[in-house]
Amino acid sequence: MASTTMSHQAIGSTVSHRPFRASQFLKEPLNVPMNFIPKRFKIEATASSQVSVIGNTVLSPSKNKPFESKKKSNEAALILIRHGESLWNEKNLFTGCVDVPLTQKGVGEAIEAGKKISNIPVDLIFTSSLIRAQMTAMLAMTQHRRKKVPIILHNESVKAKTWSHVFSEETRKQSIPVIAAWQLNERMYGELQGLNKKETAERYGTQQVHEWRRSYEIPPPKGESLEMCAERAVAYFEDNIKPELASGNNVMIAAHGNSLRSIIMYLDDLTSQEVTTLDLSTGIPLLYIFKEGKFMKRGSPVGPTEAGVYAYTKRLAQYREKLDEASLK
Ligand SMILES: O=C(O)[C@@H](CO)OP(=O)(O)O
């Protein structure tokens, strides 16, 4: 497991004393014209011109009352998680865009990560198109106290959309849309993919391999530099994920060491020099709060009972209270 050289510890927290504006969760009616549905929620038009949407209003299963307030929120949680250990992490091989699954240890890391974020709201999940990120997201969500079901949206063809249609509005409300995007994939490691990292360092020199792995501008042979990876990953984040946060939707991104490094560089406004020391551990979730157009790093929730995590914002604290109330019923 890679070491973490920048601070990912849970940080001290203070309850916000700003006037609290509870979050608003979109609730899309079933029978609305396509052009009234935000593009990001469009799934399909059925033969009867109904639009099916995996909405994100959360209803209490027991009382059918809104779990979260419907009022528009001015803040949202953003969870970033690097996938758990993969079979090629274990073998110390450059992986890049090769689609390798998790090891048993990686499965455990994903489950532990899920426990750490089990009290933080998640309305939407973005993953890369690679199985190790998708496994991590799915395994993490098995631990979430809200017990909503993550469902991968299939947009690759009309048939894929039609055949994965969900016909129950109530079921959709208990679902979390999962959007897989290649733009969040690991950096393409070029001719290093499949090579052993230690042997490559012995052959080309530690310094050269370190530059390939951690520098911003220098690409590995026929591969993507971090800068090139950032061009697609950060653009995707800005175009598709930031608008969701701005709408008050809580987002989890399950992705990779380098695609997440590029996104963190953007969120934390790191320089190309600073990002060289950023190295993400597998399976450790990082929490940000998006508020008033700004990203505030909150570190890594230590555990589901870590009281400090829920004092980060009044909204998160209230969400936690609702979870506790629901679990007492
Ligand atoms: O092999 C890879 O794809 C990545 C992540 O495991 O390696 P590195 O740590 O060199 O960026």
Q: Is 234 helix (H, G, I), strand (E, B) or coil?
A: helix
Q: How many CA atoms lie within 13 A of 119 on its CB side?
A: 27
From 92-96, 152-156, 197-201, 229-233, the region with the lowest mean pLDDT: 152-156
Per-domain boundaries in the chain: 71-302
Å from CA of 299 to ligand 1 middle? 22
Whether the per-residue pLDDT at 8 is higher than 50: the answer is no
Q: Distance (Å, rounded) from C-alpha 214 to C-alpha 195?
A: 17
Provide the pLDDT confidence category of residue 93 given band limits of 50, 70 and 90: very high
Report the nearest-CA residue for atom 5 of ligand 1.
257
Count of all residues that appear for the chain in the document: 329
Closest ligand 1 atom, CA of 193? Answer: 1
Tens digits of per-residue pLDDT, 140-187?
999 999 999 999 999 889 999 999 999 999 999 999 999 999 999 999
Per residue in 219-246, pLDDT tens? Answer: 999 999 999 999 999 999 999 999 999 9
CA Rg, the chain, in Å?
20
Residue 292: pLDDT over 80: yes
What pLDDT score was predicted for residue 314?
Answer: 84
Phi/psi region, residue 37 (left: phi>0; alpha: psi -120 to 50; beta: rest), is beta
Pair type for strands 51-52 and 44-45: antiparallel
- Please give the structure tokens belonging to residue 171: 């079921």
* Residue from 1, 86, 93, 94 whose mutation best tests the ligand 1 pocket (most atoms within 8 A of CB): 94
- How does DSSP classify residue 34? G
Of 268, 258, 267, 270, whose CA–CA distance to 225 is shortest?
258
Beta bridge partners of 94: none
| Global pTM value | 0.80
Least confident of 106-120, 230-244, 297-311: 297-311
Indicate left, alpha or beta for 251 from its phi (over 0: left) and psi (-120 to 50: alpha). beta
83 catalytic residue (yes or no): yes
Q: In what order do the strands lie in the sheet with 124-127?
A: 149-152, 175-180, 124-127, 251-255, 75-82, 285-291, 294-299
Residue 310: band (very low, low, confident or very high) from pLDDT cuts 50, 70, 90: low
Q: How many CB atoms lie within 10 A of CB 286?
A: 22
Assigned CATH topology for domain 71-302: Rossmann fold (3.40.50)
